[in-house]
Amino acid sequence: MDWIRVTGMQFYAFHGDSSAEQATGRQYEVDCELGLDLRQAGESDDVADTIDYSHVYALAEQVMRGQRRHLLEALAHEIANHLLNRTSARTVRVRVRKLHPPVDGTIAASEVAVERPVTS
């Protein structure tokens, strides 16, 4: 299995379990890894034989700027589903980080990671 990694995508979005988080928003980072066979792209040197990074960004952005979610788990799951249904990836790994989450203490980020294979 070969991998395409698009990491450090940044979004200001309005997700969270509290109404205050949903009202004021937070900074998020998203990493996506897409597993597939990249031999043809390696031989052809043609973007049509791979997954365009801008498409990965657009799919993640659609979720992050879309319906408000309470949980990072729901965001990661939805991004993974978009990637599996709209690209040629055979498996995906998605990490969603909320930077400086509102907790009673100092935390750089909270993160959820999911891995999903194609089920067909």
3-state DSSP call for residue 93? strand
Residues 120, 3: Cα–Cα separation, whole Å: 20
Determine the pLDDT at residue 120. 67
pLDDT in tens, 97-112: 999 999 999 999 999 9
Q: Are 12 and 26 in contact (CB under 8 A)?
A: yes
Among 24, 111, 112, 10, CA closest to 68: 24
pTM of the model as a whole: 0.96
What is the sign of the dihedral through the CA atoms of 35, 39, 45 and 47? negative
Which residues are catalytic, by number?
Answer: 98
Domains of the chain: 2-117 (3.30.1130.10)
Determine the pLDDT at residue 1. 94
pLDDT in tens, 71-84: 999 999 999 999 99
Is residue 117 over pLDDT 90? yes
- Give me the percent of the chain exceeding a pLDDT of 70: 99
Is residue 7 over pLDDT 70? yes
pLDDT in tens, 28-65: 999 999 999 999 999 999 999 999 999 999 999 999 99
